Structure 1
Amino acid sequence: MDNKRQAQTIIIIALLLLALLAGLIWWLKPKSAATPVTNAATSINSTSASTTSSTTITNVDTQAANGNKSAIFTTGLEHMPRSLQDTDVDGEIIIDENKQLVATEGLRHLFDYFLSAMGEEDEATIIARVEAYIRHRTPEPAASSAIEVFRQYITYLKEIGSLEESYGNLQMQATQSGEIDLNLIAQRSQDVNRLRQQLFDKDTIQAFFGGEDAYEDYSIAMVRIEQDNSLNTAQKKASREDYISRLPEGDIKQNFQKQANFGELTQRTEEMKAKGASKEELFVMRRGLVGEAAASRLAQVDTEDANFDTRFNQYQAKRQALIGNAGSEANAQEQIDQLERSQFSESERKRLTGYAELQKMTLIDLTNNL
């Protein structure tokens, strides 16, 4: 592999690690992770309110949208944007016995549910919709508190977007050496925390972002271990296991343990396949790491992948023959399309271009390493 290709690979890996810090929290975190609520006597569960109405958007919607925003909605669910039609409202509003709002992660889910329609609806319409939804289901003073938190959350999303863009550009510049700049990430975390403290109280910060922070801390710890050149492979593995073992018991720890197991699973699978391991040997190894059910599913995936590989190689040979007979790919395109339809399902055909490119990259890497 030449120097230019090495540099490109290093930058891509570094950027993927950076993306992990923002994306891993949603990839791993359970969607319905519970947040402890103290003295929560009353639960107003949004998921009981269904938007299964198939009402289509008519001229009435357009006229209402151009009028007074506060007068558009009564329940907040009238004339839902197309992307939210036939869905259940995600999230919750929790109040205590004194009708005071209790901040929960579910409240943030509720805000995100309606905000996901941004673009289909303008900001003013979404704000009016959410405020109507809250007031229709929530007594005072909890209703006004929830609306205030919602407006603070909108401000937070706008400001955090600008901050992340700035740090993303700086981090890209700092990864030219092939390592994530952990000092820069620490500074980013300080700025994020400062912004949160300006907008939210302590309880809301913990409810909205506590789980997210735990996942980010984990990601940073894993990067720090990976970049520690004083540790060999075995020591890095032990350090990762030690970090996870010291976490408090709960869903987050279990998810990290699963991720560690799947990381080891991927590495050991590649190593064993390279050594020519049998299906039975792979199954025993996988069962020990992720359980019998997952091991069975992975064995099925192996079979499906092997079948696809065989059909893909046959397709490539026939495709090249068609191009040779027709004189060019353009002249053979209709026949190639017919061949693809006869050999692959619709979902499989979407993989063909990317699969061919992956095979080329693998061949180049093997050639350069000879």
Structure 2
Amino acid sequence: MSNNRRLPYVPIIIIAVIIAITVAVIMWFKPDQNAVASSETNSGQVKNNTNNTTSDSSDSDSGAAILSGQNNTQFTTGLENLPRSLQGTEVDGEIIIDENKQLIVTEGLRRLFDYFLSALGEEEEAVIYARVESYIRSHTPEPAASQAVAIFDQYIAYLKAIPEIEKRYGNLQLQATKSGELDLNAVTQQKQDVSKLRQQYFSKETITAFFGTEDDYDDYSMEMVRINQNTQLSDAQKEAAKQDYISRMPDNTTKANIAQQANLNELMTRTEQMKAKGASPEALYNMRRELVGAPAAARLAQVDQEDANFDQRFDQYQTQKQRLLSRNADKAQAQTQINQLEQQLFNDTERKRLAGYAAMQQQNAAAAQ
């Protein structure tokens, strides 16, 4: 069973993140982490979605019938002749059942669907459908297998319906971005339309399992944007409002991840401020220990030492490099000597950083003027 695939959002780029969130509803994500192909548990409440009826069920059923009508005898486990993008990977997601062999719907089931759907373009839709159905039935007993296949039918129908909503709001998102602020009213309305669409295709249990974590992050990100766009609040009041919102979130993994990310953001900000004021290594360590703990503070102190050592060697390299170029009329010979200098001062990994590091220093110097 794999962990939540999302990571907390970074408030510095919060507006861009919100746009990505609202657009991302129509995307089929390839999962970030490997996980076991399937598992069984002997506990949990039965979540039976095979009898879930929707206003668009006829469309979903007809689509499933067409796909099921394809020849899926080419697959036994669904893992035969995987497309190139999936070769060498492990199936992400999970299929969990209870003691009565009823399906327990989890976010991992959605990840399982997305794992195979990520190959769309390399494989035809009918082939992917046959592959997923074969995988489910070869790894899952009845009635859970048929329940999972039924939810996959609903998921495909839902994904096909999502682009229509995006069409209605895509231009509004672009216009809001160009104006400098995100139109939260438009984003809220779009989320409501998406929520209504989900209710047409899925049971409440499936909606919570498939999209609950995603919605938590969306709500958090929207609130952060709302606070940032509130011109009536001072910076201190905005920070207090953000912390208050996080404190009122339900105690779960999402809240823990967001709180950790908030600490990291504060850590970066305070580190930059303290270094600019010439803070001592001891002061930096104490500040970091308060925010992220002693082990992390010690690792960051070590990184600071390594960076300082690299900066010292880089300055030495730049000085000797300029001397070689100015004293040697033969540019080829000078470059040979410069290459030798690089090998003396830097390891293989560090040498790859030299060009980019020099460019960054030039940019910083230009910005400081």
The normalised TM-score by structure 1 is: 0.74
**How many Å separate the matches in 2 of 1:279 and 1:136?**
58
Unaligned stretches of 5+ residues in structure 2: 1-11, 36-42, 48-69
One-letter amino acid of the structure 2 residue matched with residue 189 of structure 1: K
CA distance in 2, matches of 1:118, 1:336: 49
Query: Which moves more between the two structures, 326-335 or 228-237?
Result: 326-335
Superimposed CA distance per residue, residues 187-207 of structure 1 (whole angstroms, 9 cap, x where no aligned partner): 221232233223322221111
User: Which whole-Å CA distance do the structure 2 matches of 1:109 and 1:276 have between them?
Assistant: 47
User: What amino acid sits opposite 1:18 in the alignment?
Assistant: I
| 1:34-53 matches, cutoff 5 A | 38-40=44-46
CA 1:176 to 1:328, structure 2 compared with 1: closer, same or farther past 3 Å?
Answer: farther
Quote the Cα distance in structure 1 between the aligned partners of 2:105 and 2:294: 40
Give yes or no for the alignment of 1:246 onto 2:248. Answer: yes
Measure, in 1, the Cα distance between the counterparts of 2:227 and 2:143. 48
Shift of residue 146 of structure 1?
A: 1.2
Aligned to 2:16: 16
Which one-letter code corresponds to 2:18 in the other structure? L
State the alpha-carbon separation in 2 of the partners of residues 16 and 321 from structure 1.
Answer: 45
What's the CA shift for 1:254?
Answer: 1.3
TM-score (norm 2): 0.74
Q: CA deviation at 1:108?
A: 0.9
Corresponding residue to 1:175 among 164, 174, 177: 177
Q: Once the two structures are aligned, what percentage of the paired residues are identical? A: 57
Q: Aligned in 2, Cα 1:148/1:241: closer, same or farther, shift over 3 Å?
A: same
How far has the Cα of 1:312 moved from its partner? Answer: 3.4
CA separation of 1:140 and 1:177: change in aligned 2, threshold 3 A: same
Q: How does 1:266-345 map to 2 (within 5 A)?
A: 266-318=268-320, 343-345=345-347
- The 3-state SS of whatever aligns with 1:135 is helix
Amino acid at match of 2:142: E
Q: Do 1:70 and 1:128's aligned partners in 2 also have CA atoms closer than 8 Å?
A: yes
Residue 262 (structure 1) aligns with: 264
Q: Distance in 2 between matches of 1:19 and 1:294?
A: 32
What residue number does 2:143 align with? 141
Conserved? CA contact 2:103–2:147, under 8 Å: yes
Question: Displacement, 1:133?
Answer: 0.7
- SS in structure 1 opposite 2:96? strand
How far apart, in 2, do the equivalents of 1:167 and 1:365 lie? Answer: 38
Query: How far off is 1:296 after superposition?
Result: 1.1
Query: Could you report, residue by residue, the CA deviation over 1:110-166 in whole angstroms, capped at 9, with x for unpaired residues?
Result: 112223334444433222211101011223332222122223323434554675587
1:195-239 Cα shifts (integer Å, max 9, x gaps): 322332222111100010001111111111122121112211111
Aligned residues of 2:75 and 2:131 also touching (Cα < 8 A): yes
Alignment of 1:184-263 (within 5 A): 184-263=186-265
Structure 1 residues 316 and 275 mapped into 2: Cα distance closer, same or farther (>3 Å)?
same
Q: How many residues align?
A: 324
Distance in 2 (alpha carbons) for counterparts of 1:319 and 1:165: 56
User: 1:152 and 1:329 mapped to 2: Cα distance?
Assistant: 67
- Structure 1's unaligned 5+ residue stretches are 1-11, 42-67
Q: Secondary structure at the match of 1:244?
A: helix
Q: Is the 8 A contact 1:111 1:130 kept in 2?
A: yes
Two-structure CA RMSD over aligned residues (Å): 3.7
2:39 corresponds to: none
1:31-50 alpha-carbon deviations (Å, 9 max, x no partner): 98xxxx84259xxxxxxxxx
Which residue of structure 2 aligns with residue 150 of structure 1? Answer: 152
Structure 1 contact 14–178 (Cα < 8 Å) conserved:
no
Structure-2 change in CA distance of 1:88 and 1:40 (3 Å): farther
Q: CA deviation at 1:275?
A: 1.0
2:114 to 87, 112, 115: 112
Determine the structure 2 residue equivalent to 1:100: 102
